[in-house]
Every structure is written in structure tokens, then in C-alpha cells.
């Protein structure tokens, strides 16, 4: 699972829109471009988890190599002081109903521990877990490639999987 690195606190990010507005824009069928004005000396990181999943041009290229046909929307960060524009992409991988019955939940119904059903995942290399916030899961091949390029602002977390035989044993 890919997460934003919370150790980096100063990074360029969209501030003029709230999460609801970004989600509405992301869900719209328009092929529009969203531009944000940024300034300051903050870092340009490769993955932003909030308010929506936004990836750098380099991370998008890695995703496209491993899973063609992903849905993307262009976001431009425009720094007027430096006279520079940086392309980012709103990531919208397919959502899969792939949680194993072995997944664990908090009392309020929120997900505590993700365990994926390996057969529901099939051959998907990059996807979101449907009904589990907006967690993006990448296959081991993709994770290894990400690590080779030394991208900044992201962390990878191992996620457990379970097959039908394991699920039957636990249910019995």
C-alpha cells in the first residue's frame, strides 16, 4: 500500500480547493485541467494522499508501465515567483471489492487491518480498495520499481493477502 510520508511536512500541495470540490472535479467526465498557484520553498514530493491521491509525472510514468489504461486528470502547480509549472496527476486506479473476510475493523466500522483476497485482486498491478477510504495498492513489481527510482514523499506498507483455503480454515 502506498502512503504519503508524514515526515515531510512542508510540500507543495493544492490549498484553494477543499476535498469535496476535488472529488467532484475528479468524478466529472470533463477532461479539464486543474491549476493551483503555489509559492515558497516547500518540496515537490512524488505522492500526496490528501485531500485526494495526487502523483508526480515520474510516478505516473511508472504506474503506466505496469498497468495501461489507468484514468488520470492533469493538475498543474504554477509557481509565479520561480516562473515554473510542475505537472501532477490525480490518480484514479480502478476500485476492487477485494477485502478478505479476515480483514479487521474498529468498533466504529472503519478498517483497522487490510487483508486482501488474492483471487479478487487477480492480475491488477495498481488499484484502490473499494469501500476502504482511498487506499492505493501496488503489486510487488511496482513497489520494487518505485524504490529503484528513489522517489520522495511516499512510504510503502506491506499488505497481507489470503486465499480461499486460509479463509475456510479461519471460518471453521
95-126 pLDDT per residue, tens:
899 999 898 888 988 888 889 999 898 889 99
Dihedral over alpha carbons 97, 101, 103, 109 (to 10 degrees) = 80
What separation, in Å, do the N-terminal and C-terminal C-alpha atoms of the chain show?
29
The domain total for the chain is 1
Q: Are 157 and 113 in contact (CB under 8 A)?
A: no
| 3-class state of residue 92 by DSSP | strand
Expressed as residue numbers, the domain containing 159 is 2-171
Instruction: Tell me the whole-structure pTM to 2 decimals.
Output: 0.85
Q: Are 130 and 97 in contact (CB under 8 A)?
A: yes
Give the integer Cα–Cα distance in Å for 10 and 49. Answer: 14
Residue range 120-169, pLDDT digits in tens? 988 899 999 887 666 899 999 999 999 999 899 999 999 999 876 544 33
| 3-class state of residue 132 by DSSP | strand
Amino acid at each position: 500500500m502506498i502512503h504519503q510520508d508524514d515526515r515531510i511536512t512542508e510540500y507543495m500541495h493544492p490549498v484553494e480547493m477543499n476535498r469535496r470540490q476535488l472529488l467532484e472535479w475528479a468524478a466529472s467526465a470533463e477532461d479539464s485541467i486543474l491549476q493551483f498557484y503555489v509559492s515558497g520553498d516547500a518540496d515537490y514530493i512524488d505522492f500526496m494522499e490528501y485531500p485526494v491521491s495526487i502523483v508526480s509525472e515520474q510516478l505516473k510514468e511508472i504506474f503506466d508501465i505496469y498497468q495501461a489504461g489507468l484514468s488520470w486528470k492533469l493538475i498543474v502547480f504554477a509557481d509565479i515567483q520561480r516562473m515554473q509549472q510542475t505537472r501532477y496527476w490525480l490518480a484514479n486506479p480502478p476500485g476492487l471489492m477485494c477485502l478478505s473476510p479476515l480483514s479487521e475493523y474498529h468498533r466504529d466500522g472503519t478498517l483497522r487491518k487490510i487483508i486482501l483476497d488474492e483471487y479478487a485482486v487477480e492480475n491488477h498491478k495498481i488499484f484502490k480498495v473499494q469501500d476502504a477510504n482511498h487506499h492505493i495498492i501496488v503489486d510487488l513489481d511496482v513497489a520494487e520499481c518505485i524504490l529503484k527510482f528513489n522517489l520522495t514523499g511516499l512510504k510503502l506498507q506491506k499488505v497481507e493477502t489470503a486465499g480461499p483455503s486460509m479463509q475456510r480454515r479461519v471460518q471453521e
